[in-house]
Amino acid sequence: MTQICDFKLGPLNHVGVAVPDIEAAAQHYRDVFGVTDITKPQDLPPQGVTFAFVNLPSGQIELIQPYGENSPIEKFLKNNPKGGQHHVCYEVDDIHEAKSVMEARGMTVLNDPRIGAHGTPVIFLHPRHNQGVLIELMEKQINTDD
């Protein structure tokens, strides 16, 4: 039951920033901010994005650039041609539990759980119920020793 559910957000995992040119954006973080740990851009066809993580001591910036036809960030970049802050991502223990709790609490869940950039399932919550912020929930990664 929703009332007694102990669901709560886990750590902030990353902030998503949509960019028109991911290589240029990564270079910007190197040149201007001195960041040396930036992952190589990778395509994520199911989500229609190419992504790279800027690794910082306290977390990550996820740079995302449109990939393929009908990328979900195409329209965002049309409205923000130089790029812009696109979403924030929090970790949750169980993505299916998170989806049903969010729906029960009146959030608009935009997709069924699908594999995100960290290789774990993610869902997105419509900004209209979250102070205008697009929220990504990702199932936390299980640390393995190998």
Residues in contact with Co ion by the rule CB under 5 A: 16, 62, 89, 136
Give CA–CA dist 139/118, Å, rounded.
9
Give CA–CA dist 24/41, Å, rounded.
11
Q: Are strands 12-18 and 59-66 parallel, antiparallel or unpaired?
A: parallel
Catalytic residue among 69, 74, 103, 136: 136
Q: Give the shortest CB-52-to-Co ion separation in angstroms.
A: 12
Provide CB contacts within 8 A for 126, sequence distance 6+: 107, 108, 109, 110, 134
Give CA–CA dist 93/32, Å, rounded.
36
Q: Give the shortest CB-79-to-Co ion separation in angstroms.
A: 19
Which residue's CB is nearer to Co ion, number 95 or number 145? 95
- Give the type of residue at 104: A
Q: Give the shortest CB-13-to-Co ion separation in angstroms.
A: 8
Q: Is 136 a catalytic residue?
A: yes
Which residue's CB is nearer to Co ion, number 107 or number 118? 118
Which residue's CB is nearer to Co ion, number 2 or number 42? 42
Catalytic residues: 136
